[in-house]
Structure 1
Amino acid sequence: MSFFLGVALFAVGIAVTIALHEWGHMTAARVFGMRVRRYFIGFGPTVASFRRRHRAAGGHVTEYGLKAVPLGGFCDIAGMTAADPVTPEEEPYAMYRRPWWARVAVLSGGVAMNLVVGVLLIYAVAVTWGLPDPDVDLSPRIAQTQCVPPAEAADGTLAECTGAGPAELAGLRAGDVVVAVGGAEVATPREVAEAVRATEDATVVLTVERVGQLMDVTVAPERVTRMVGGDAVEVAAVGIAFQAPKQRILEYDPLTAVPGSLAFTGHMFAAVWEGLLAIPGKVPGVVASVFGAERDPESPMSVVGASRFGGELAEADLWSMFVMMLANLNFFLAMFNLIPLPPLDGGHIAVVGYERLRDLLRRVRGLAPGAPVDYTRLMPVTLAFTAVLLAFGIIVIAADVVNPIRFF
C-alpha cells in the first residue's frame, strides 16, 4: 500500500511543481501590468475550469482550469509576442509592449519559483531529518582483492571460486585508490567496474594511489560470464571489492539549516547540471534498454519512472530522499527551461536579449529601435525542438515501462 501511496504522492508533487512554475509566470505578469487570460494545469480536454475577475491590468478575467492529462501546464499572457492576436482592449496590457527587463522577469518567473521551491524543500529536509554530507569520500578505494567467479546464474547468484584473483596476483591491495583505468580517469567504483568490463585486451593498466604515491599496475583480467539484460555476456573481471562510502548525516536547527541548505543546493545544482549535459549521450542506451539491453541506473527517467521511484522510497520509509527527489525535480525543471531554444522559457528570453542587443547597436548608429522579432521565422526551430522533446519523452516513458530502473 505504501508503494502506491508514494507513487500517487510523487505524481501529485510533479503536478504541483508544474503548477507553481506557471504560477510564477502569472504572478510576475500581473506585477508588471500584463493581462493573464488563462492558467491551466495539464493538456488535452478541459476537465474543469472557473473564471475570476482581477483588478490588475485595467481589470480582466482569467480562466483557471485543469486539463485531462496533468503532466504540463501553461499560462496564457495576452500579447506574449507581437505575432499573438490581441483585442483593442488588451493592447495596452500586452506583454510585448512592456520593457525588455519586465518581459525577462516574467519569462524567468517560473524558473525563479522552481528554485525557491527546491531550496525550501531542502531546508525542510535539513530541519526534519538532516542532510547528507556532500563532501563524503566516493573515491574507488579497494577494500579487498578476491577470486573471480566464472559465471553468474539467471537469478543473479555467482558461481563459487577459490584462490587469488588477477588484482591480487598483480600486486593490488586493500587501501589502494584506483584513479585511472587504461589511462582514462575514474572517480567512482562504478566507473572502475565499467571500464574494466569493457576491456578486450589481455592486460589493462590500473593507476592507483598508494600512500600518497601514484603507480601503474598491469593486471591480466579473466573473461567471465555475466547476465546483462537477461542475456549471458562475456566480460572482463579482475576481482576487486571496494569500500562502501562512509556516509554521514549533518544535523541542523532552523537557523543553521539556512546556510546548510544553500550549500547543499549548490552541490545538487551542480549535479543536475552535469546530468542535463549527459542526457544526449545516454539516449542510445535508453533506446537499447527498450529492446532488452541493460538499463543504466543513471539514465534519464520520465515522470512514470520518477513516480515509480517515489513509490519505492515511500515503501522503504525513505521520506527524506522522497522530498529530495522533488527538490531535484524542481532544479531540473528550472535548468531545463533555461535552454535557449523555443518553445522553452530560455528561447523566449534569448529572443528578448537579441532584440535588446540589436536596438542598442541601432541606437549607436542613430537608428530607431527595430520591429519585434517575427516569431513565424522561428517556427521551424520550434517545431523541430518540440518534435525532439516528444520523441525523447516517448522513448523514456517506454523504457520506464518495459525496463524500469530498479534502486532496491
Structure 2
Amino acid sequence: MRAAVRVAQVTANSKAGAGTVTVVEVIAFVIGVVLLVVGLAVSIALHELGHLLPAKKFGVRVGQYMIGFGPTLWSRRRGETEYGFKAIPLGGYISMAGMYPPSPALRRRNGAVTGHRTGRAGGGFFATMVQDARTANDETLLSEDDDRVFYRLPVWKRVVIMLGGPVMNLLLALVLFAILLSGIGVQTATTTVQSVSECVIPSGVTRTTCAASDPIAPAKAAGLQAGDVIVSVDGTGVNTFAEASAIIRKSPGRTLIVVVERDGVVHSVNLTPVAVMQPVTDSSGKAVLNPDGSAMTQEVGFAGIRQEVQYVRQPIWAGPQAAVENVGAVAGVVFQLPVKVWQTGVSLVTGQERDPNGPLSVVGAGVLAGEVASADAPVLNRVAGLLSLLASLNIALFVFNMIPLLPLDGGHIAVALWDGIKRGWARIFHRPPPKPVDATKLVPVTFVVVIALVAMGAVLILADIFNPVSLF
C-alpha cells in the first residue's frame, strides 16, 4: 500500500479549505469505496482462477471455487466443481482433493485394520487440531489409491498450482500499471507557463491575495505571460520545468536571460529571481530539522511562475518497471510488518500522526479510494488514483501470499519444495522413496500464524477507523 498512497497523493489535488462536504462528494466517496471493493473481488477471483486452471489441467479434483467467505449467496455446479459467491467478498478459495496425504486412520480403514484410536482423546488442543485437519482432508479423498489428488502430483506441478494465484495478482498489477503509465500517463510539469504571480507574498503570511506593500513578482516584472514556452534559462536549454526551476532556485538576486516562445515567435526577457527562505525537505518531502528541533531553511530564488501540468505517456516498459519497484517497496513493509503494526498501534493509542508509507487494512484502502474519488480534481486524475490503489493492492496480495508460512500460498510452496528435497536426497543415496510430507503436522504453526494475522489486521482496522491515513 505504500506506493498506492504515494501515487494517489500525486494524482489527487488538495481539498484544503474546501469547506462543507457536499452531497455530491459523499456520493463520489461511496462510489470510490464500491469500485475498490469490486476491484478487490475481481482480484481475488483472478487469484483463485490462477489456482483453478492449472489444478484442473493437472487432473486434480476441485470441489469448490468460491469468491468470499461466510454464507453462500449464489452457486452453481458445473461438472464436479461448484462455483459461487459468498457474503463477504474479502477472500476466496478453491477446494482441492488431497491437499495433504491421507491420515493414518484412513490408511488403516482402507487396509481393513480396526480398533485404531482417532487421536482425539487425551491428545491436547493442538493434537485435536491436527486430527481435525486430517479428518477434513480425508473427506476430499475417495480412497488412499485416488490419483486425482494434489499431494500425489510431482513437485513442480504443485508449485505451479500454488504459484498461479499470486502470479495472477502480479500480472493484473502489471496490466494496471501499464494502463496507468502508458495509457493515461504521468502528470508532468511542462515548460509551458500556466500563470504568472502578481506579487511576492512574504513567508509566514496566511493571506493569498496581494497587498499594496508586496513587491511585484520577478516573472511579472520580466514580462512573462501565460502560454509562454520556456526554451532556455541563463543560456541552458531546458526540456522540463524542473530543469528551469533548478536554475532559478540557485540564482537569487542574479539576472537571468530567459528565452521563451510566444505565439511562434522567440522572445528574450531578463528575469531576476528574488531571494526567499524555504524549508529544507528530504527525499520523502518531510522537513529537515535543526539540532534544536526547528525547521531548517535555505535561501532560494523565486520567480512566481506556475507551470502547466500535462499527462505524459511513458514507454511500454514503464508499467512492469513500476510493478517491480512496488514489489520491492511492499516486500520491505511486509518484512517489517510486526514492527510497523506495533508502531501503528502506538500511534492509535497516543494519537500521533501515522506513517503514510505504513501498512493499511482493507478499510484504510477503502477510505483512500473514497477520498480519491471525491477529490476536487479532474476525472482523469481520480481514475488514475483508483487504478494506482488497485494495482498496489494486487502487488500487496502477491507479496503477502508468497510468505513461506501456512496457510498462505508460499507455505504450500515451501512444503512442496521440502518434499522434493527429501525425494531428491533419497534418490541420490539410493534409498526408498520417503512418505509424502504431512503438512497437517504444521497445523499448530498455522494456527499461530492465523491468530497473529487476525490480531495485526484488527489493529490496522481500528487505526484506519480512528486514526486514518488521509490524502488531505
TM-score w.r.t. the length of structure 1 is: 0.71
- Find the counterpart in structure 2 of residue 33 from structure 1: 59
Counterpart mapping for 1:109-128 below 5 A: 109-128=164-183
Cα distance in 2 for partners of 1:248, 1:188 equals 23
Residue 238 of structure 1 is matched in structure 2 by: 295
Q: Is the 8 A contact 1:189 1:242 kept in 2?
A: no
Contact 1:34 1:93 in 2 (8 A): yes
- CA gap 1:307/1:100 in 2 versus in 1, 3 angstroms: same
Secondary structure in 1 matching 2:436: coil
CA displacement 1:132-182 (0-9 Å, x = unmatched): 68xxxxxxxxxxxx9999xxxxxxxxxxxxxxxxxxxxxxx979977xxxx
Report how far residue 239 of structure 1 moved: 4.3
> For 1:39-66, what per-residue CA distance to the aligned partner results, in whole angstroms no more than 9, with x for missing partners?
111112222211111xxxxxxx111122
The secondary structure found in structure 1 opposite 2:86 is: strand
Determine the C-alpha separation between the residues in 2 that align with 1:407 and 1:127.
24
The answer as to whether partners of 2:60 and 2:150 remain within 8 angstroms in 1 is yes
Of the candidates 393, 396, 404, which is equivalent to residue 332 of structure 1? 396
Q: How much has 1:125 moved relative to structure 2?
A: 1.6
Q: 1:271 aligns with which of 329, 350, 365?
A: 329
Measured against aligned partners, the alpha-carbon deviations of 1:338-386 in whole angstroms (never above 9, x if no partner) come to 1001000000100111111111111111102211112232111100001
CA shift for structure 1 position 127 = 3.8
Q: Is the 8 A contact 1:46 1:65 kept in 2?
A: yes
Quickly say closer, same or farther: Cα 1:278–1:249, change in 2 above 3 A: farther
Structure 2 residue identity aligned to 1:189: G
Contact 2:68 2:86 (8 Å CA) reproduced: yes
Q: Does 1:76 align with 2:95?
A: yes
CA drift of 1:288 comes to: 2.2
C-alpha contact (below 8 Å) 1:34/1:94 kept by paired residues:
yes
Of residues 340, 360, 363 in structure 2, which corresponds to 1:304? 363
Cα deviation for residue 321 of structure 1 reads 1.7
- Give 1:163's aligned residue: none
Are the counterparts in 2 of residues 10 and 310 from structure 1 also a CA contact under 8 Å? yes
Give the distance between the partners of 1:123 and 1:23, measured in 2 at CA.
22
Is this contact kept in 2: 1:148–1:237, CA < 8 A? no
**In the alignment, does 2:288 pair up with 1:189?**
no
Q: Aligned ranges for residues 337-356 of structure 1 at < 5 Å?
A: 337-356=401-420
Percent identity for Structure 1 against Structure 2: 37
Distance 1:376 1:260, change over 3 A: closer
1:17 aligns with 2:22: no
Shift of the 350–4 alpha-carbon distance from structure 1 to 2, 3 Å rule, reads same
- Whether contact under 8 Å (2:407, 2:446) holds in the other structure is yes
Letter in 2 for 1:4: V
Segment drifting more, 295-304 vs 340-349: 295-304
AA matched with 1:271: A
Is the CA contact 2:364–2:464 (under 8 Å) kept in the aligned structure 1? Answer: yes
Are the counterparts in 1 of residues 185 and 312 from structure 2 also a CA contact under 8 Å? yes
Distance in 1 (alpha carbons) for counterparts of 2:77 and 2:99:
21
What are the superposed Cα offsets for residues 41-93 of structure 1, whole Å, 9 maximum, x if unpaired?
A: 1112222211111xxxxxxx111122221111111111112142101499221
User: 2:415 and 2:296 mapped to 1: Cα distance?
Assistant: 55
Name the residue aligned to 1:108: 163
Given that 2:278 and 2:298 are in contact with CA atoms closer than 8 Å, whether structure 1 keeps it comes out as no
**Secondary structure of the structure 1 residue equivalent to 2:147:** helix
The Cα shift of 1:126 comes to: 2.7
Structure 1 residue 34, shift from structure 2 partner: 1.1
Which residue identity is paired with 2:364? G
The count of corresponding residues between Structure 1 and Structure 2 is 314
CA deviations 1:321-341 (Å, max 9, x no partner) are 210111111111011101001
Q: Which residue of 2 aligns with 1:50?
A: 76
Match of 1:62 among 81, 86, 89: 81
Is the CA contact (8 Å cut-off) linking 1:148 and 1:239 kept in structure 2? no
CA-to-aligned-CA distance 1:175-205 (integer Å, 9 cap, x gap): 9977xxxxxxx64332x54xx4xxxxxx73x
Question: Structure 1 regions of 5+ residues with no counterpart?
Answer: 54-60, 134-145, 150-172, 179-185, 197-202, 205-220, 222-235
**Secondary structure of the residue that 1:357 maps to in structure 2?**
helix
Q: 2:348 matched to which residue of 1?
A: 290
Counterpart contact for 2:278–2:299, Cα < 8 Å = no
Q: Cα gap change, 1:265/1:248 in structure 2, threshold over 3 Å: closer, same or farther?
A: farther
Q: 1:187 to 1:277 in 2, by over 3 A?
A: farther
**Offset at residue 238 of structure 1 (A):** 2.9
Partner of 1:213: none
Pairs within 5 Å for 1:164-183: none
Match of 1:157 in 2: none
Give the residue type in structure 1 aligned to 2:397.
L
Aligned to 2:435: 371
The question of whether the paired residues in 2 share the 8 Å contact of 1:287 and 1:395 is answered with yes
Matched, 1:251 2:251: no
Change (3 A) 1:242 1:361: farther
CA contact (8 A) 1:6 1:315 kept: yes
Asked whether the equivalents of residues 39 and 390 of structure 2 are also in contact (C-alpha less than 8 Å), the reply is yes
- Write the distance in 2 (CA, Å) between the matches of 1:10 and 1:189: 28
Relative to 1, partners in 2 of residues 1:52 and 1:396: Cα closer, same or farther, differing over 3 Å?
A: same
Q: Is the 8 A contact 1:35 1:90 kept in 2?
A: no
Three-state SS of the structure 2 residue aligned to 1:349 is helix
Answer yes or no: is the 8 Å Cα contact 1:148–1:238 preserved in 2.
no
AA paired with 1:188?
Answer: S
Q: Secondary structure at the match of 1:44?
A: strand
Shift of 1:241: 7.4
Bigger relative contact order (CA 8 A; separation at least 6): 2
1:292–1:403 Cα contact (<8 Å) kept: no
**1:240 aligned partner, one-letter code:** T
Give the counterpart of 2:373 among 309, 314, 319.
Answer: 314
- In structure 2, runs of 5+ residues without a counterpart are 1-26, 103-136, 189-201, 206-275, 301-306
Shift of 1:28: 1.2
